[in-house]
Amino acid sequence: MSYRYFKNDKCEYFPCHDMDHEFFNCLFCYCPLYHYDCKGNYTDEGIKDCSNCLIPHSERGYDHVMKILLENLKINK
């Protein structure tokens, strides 16, 4: 299951969020849910600002991202 997790603590932007860095997933550094209603903590004032959302970097983030992507694939079929 290693494909679900990647951490790059040598990244020049790490840590990019204020959260526990023991488990910090960098796999979705650019969140693939930007164009979807992701149920995350974001603001939208003409431009979606996801900087307060920690879901993609969390331990269950992979499952959340995949669930939303699969739901949207089914809708758009």
> The domain containing residue 51 runs over which residues?
1-77
Looking at residue 62, the DSSP 8-state letter turns out to be H
As for how many domains the chain has, the answer is 1
pLDDT recorded at residue 15: 79
pLDDT averaged per 10 residues in sequence order, the chain, 77 residues = 86 81 83 90 91 88 94 78
pLDDT reported for residue 18:
78
Give the closest residue to 18 by CA, choosing from 49, 63, 57, 74: 57
With beta carbons less than 8 A apart as the criterion, state whether 4 and 28 touch: no
